[in-house]
Amino acid sequence: MSNSISKPLAGKVAVVTGATRGGGRGIAVMLGEAGATVYVTGRSVRGNPATEGRGETIEETAEMVSARGGVGIAVRTDHTVEEDVKALFDRIRREQDGRLDILVNDIWGGDPLTQWETPFWEHSLSNGLLMQRRAVHSHLITSHYGVTMMVARRQGLIIEVTDGTDYRYRGNLYYSLAKVSTIHLAEAMAADLKPHGVTALALTPGFLRSEAVLDHFGVAESNWREAVAKDVHFAQSETPYYIGRAVVALASDPNIAAKSGKALMSGDLAEEYGFTDIDGTRPNWNAYYKRTFEHQ
């Protein structure tokens, strides 16, 4: 009994795409802590990082998963390449006897492609289209191949990681299109999957203290509060493990089907399920944003 409480996802098989760093890494590690076997995918491998200026790798993430009590398996996968994705799920089908319980689509790769404060007709078209390829098409390709394993067993959870929970404009056409499209992917997949016992939903973190964000502010996780002097809103930020705990809570919920098609936020889920960030806090960016920006 105690093991089922401490390792609620023992025996479960998960795929976390884009798990090299940031929210993807946090999700993979927390799934490992909950006892899951986690296939960690991305393009950055030891000796061959795919993102300029970033040294994190999928092997590091997989080792962190295993260190927390799960089983981390790193598989280099370019999710914009159909053959890579098909090979990934063929491998999982062989190794896990056709089992796939959780699929987290967290591929992004759009930050270096986004030109903020630039109207769409002056924005690089090639970068804008590449953003859709990386952040939307990759999710479509991955779900196309991954969901068949879930449908066959009439169970499973697909989580589309995005930014925001509604369809409002996010300040850059290409960025906005990618993030809104991901929310609708979850809504549309949920409708198609409803008769098959599979749940699909969208999930967004709040102000995420990713490795890149910490570097931007010139701080580390140990002294991140020093950056609040530069941006007061940073006081409401959260670690990548917070959204990871949200994923664990969702995957452990026997009534998860009731949330199918919805777009959810880490802070709201923390209040609903009672979990905290790893530092013991319970930030709620959604509530803070509404209080600060929408009621002025």
| Residuewise pLDDT in 10s, the chain (296 residues) | 345 668 999 999 999 999 999 999 999 999 999 999 999 999 877 767 767 777 789 999 999 999 999 999 999 999 999 999 999 999 999 999 999 999 999 999 999 999 999 999 999 999 999 999 999 999 999 999 999 999 999 999 999 999 999 999 999 999 999 999 999 999 999 999 999 999 999 999 999 999 889 999 999 999 999 999 999 999 999 999 999 999 999 999 999 999 999 999 999 999 999 999 999 999 999 999 999 987 65
How many separate domains does the chain show?
1
* Spatial separation of the C-alpha atoms in residues 294 and 95, rounded to whole Å: 49
List the domain range (segments joined by +) for residue 56.
2-293
pTM for the structure as a whole:
0.95
CATH of the domain at 178: 3.40.50.720
Please name the residue ranges forming H helices in 159-210.
173-193
Locate the DSSP E strands across 53-139.
Answer: 71-76, 102-105
**Vertex 274 angle, CA 269 and 280, to 5°:** 105
Find out whether 175 and 156 touch, Cβ atoms under 8 Å. no
Spatial separation of the C-alpha atoms in residues 248 and 38, rounded to whole Å: 12
Contact 155, 195 (CB under 8 A): no
C-alpha–C-alpha distance, residues 157 and 50, integer Å: 28
CA distance 174 to 249: 31
Helix ranges (H only) for 208-257 are 211-217, 240-252
Please confirm, yes or no, whether 288 is among the known catalytic residues.
Answer: no
39, 145, 175, 242: which is the annotated catalytic residue? 175
Q: Distance between CA 118 and CA 120 in Å, rounded?
A: 6
Which residue's entry shows tokens 């799960």? 70
- Among residues 104, 182, 190, which one has the least CA distance to residue 136? 182
| Cα–Cα distance for residue pair 25/61, rounded to 1 Å | 6
- CB-CB contact of 217 with 228 (8 Å): no
Question: With DSSP H G I counted as helix, E B as strand and the rest as coil, what are the percentages for the chain, rounded to 5?
Answer: 50, 15, 35
